[in-house]
Amino acid sequence: MSDTSAIEWCDATWNWVMGCTKVSPACVNCYAEVSTPSRTMGIEWGDQAERRVARNATFNAPLKWNKKPWVCDRCGWFTNDIDNAHVCIGTGPGGFHRRRVFSLSLGDWLDNKIPVSVLARALNIVRLCPNLNFLLLTKRPQLFFSRMSNVAIYRDIAGKPVIDVDWVNAWACRNEPPPNVWIGTSVEDKQRADERIPELLKIPAKVRFLSCEPLLGPIRLPLTKPKPLYDAEYGDQHEYAEVPNGIDWVIVGGESGPKARPCNIGWVRDIKNQCKAASVPVFVKQLGSIPIIFGVDGPDGCDKLMVCRVSHTKCGNSSEWPEDLRAQEFPNAA
């Protein structure tokens, strides 16, 4: 658990459980598996390993954050009273936003090896914290409905549900998603985009987002879809307009760490340009530890290593990037 977070697009991370199983190429150098908490606690990865449930203080931390939900855009200061808040003299856009709580950074909330009792407890915390925005990211969006169904029917040892079942059913069955939940899926390449985005779009959500990180190849994102225009004279539908497809935000970044794979900044630029063309907010997080420029002659006669790691090993200092990549936007959600 962390009251603050080093991840640029959230204000806090909430790891109510730790441990996972690798499911795709993005998982090869899984940060969570080698993170300090995982190593010091001896947490094992894989289907046969038990997931580690957090202590109560960590599990229930959002209940505390919920009492001070507003975060200064400039300095990260928390308050529950923005009407009487100080005028911050820091840099950045002015104003306050609801605390963005990312979960999980050390696992996957739809991992079906997490006991359903634990998932139900976690979702109950989400339900009890309406002042926060929970950013729930998964590589398993196809499991949403089955996991929610399991949560809805789960009963504790006394035969009681641990969460308001109507809240679960409203979300999963009646298309009434909780207003404080953003649902995201990770897509690192074309195959994962083709597999996971259609599953994400089935999930009722106030905000849906994509995390294209670590970006491992070019991806064409379905940010819009064609809508037939009805022809009143002929009753024909022979013209189409491009309309939003239900994706509200895109995060993109290259891989970091000692075993990072190269990220072609042309892939990052292409995703950023797709978002701009579709009017979808985009957050370029980092260019990764090995950013390359495709098609520019480098020492080996092919791709060139981009020189932008002066102050940041993951090339996360946007002032070192080409100017057109400096986009760090958020969706319009209170």
The residue ranges that bind ligand SF4 (CB under 6 A) are 20, 22-23, 26-27, 30, 32-33, 107-108, 139
Q: Cβ 18 to ligand SF4, closest distance in Å? A: 9
Q: Cβ 27 to ligand SF4, closest distance in Å? A: 3
Judged by CB, which is closer to ligand SF4: 64, or 259? 259
Judged by CB, which is closer to ligand SF4: 39, or 174? 39
Q: Determine the Cα–Cα distance for residues 149 and 143; give it in Å rounded to an integer.
A: 10
Q: Cβ(31)–Cβ(40) under 8 Å?
A: no
The 10 Å CB-count burial string (b at 16+, else e) for 80-111 is eeeeeeeebeeeeeeebbbbbbbbbbbbbbbb
Sheet holding 304-305, edge to edge: 263-264, 291-293, 304-305
Judged by CB, which is closer to ligand SF4: 38, or 318? 38
Q: Cβ 7 to ligand SF4, closest distance in Å? A: 13
Judged by CB, which is closer to ligand SF4: 22, or 127? 22
Residue 209 has φ and ψ, to the nearest 5°, of: -140, 160
Judged by CB, which is closer to ligand SF4: 50, or 297? 50
Q: Determine the Cα–Cα distance for residues 104 and 53; give it in Å rounded to an integer.
A: 12
- HSE (side-chain half, CA atoms, 13 Å) at 290: 14
Note if the bond before 214 is cis, omega within 30 degrees.
yes
Q: Cβ 30 to ligand SF4, closest distance in Å? A: 3
Judged by CB, which is closer to ligand SF4: 139, or 192? 139
Judged by CB, which is closer to ligand SF4: 15, or 66? 15
Q: Cβ(92)–Cβ(73) under 8 Å?
A: yes
Q: Cβ(183)–Cβ(209) under 8 Å?
A: yes
Judged by CB, which is closer to ligand SF4: 107, or 254? 107
CA triplet 170, 175, 178: central angle to 5 degrees?
A: 60
Q: Cβ 105 to ligand SF4, closest distance in Å? A: 8
Q: Cβ 307 to ligand SF4, closest distance in Å? A: 28
Q: How are beta strands 78-79 and 17-18 bridged, if at all?
A: unpaired
Q: Cβ(54)–Cβ(1) under 8 Å?
A: yes
Q: Cβ 207 to ligand SF4, closest distance in Å? A: 20
Judged by CB, which is closer to ligand SF4: 48, or 279? 48
The neighbouring-strand residues paired with 244 are 224
Q: Cβ 14 to ligand SF4, closest distance in Å? A: 14
Q: Cβ(36)–Cβ(42) under 8 Å?
A: no
Residue 236 has φ and ψ, to the nearest 5°, of: -105, 155
Residue 252 has φ and ψ, to the nearest 5°, of: -140, 145
Q: Cβ 22 to ligand SF4, closest distance in Å? A: 4
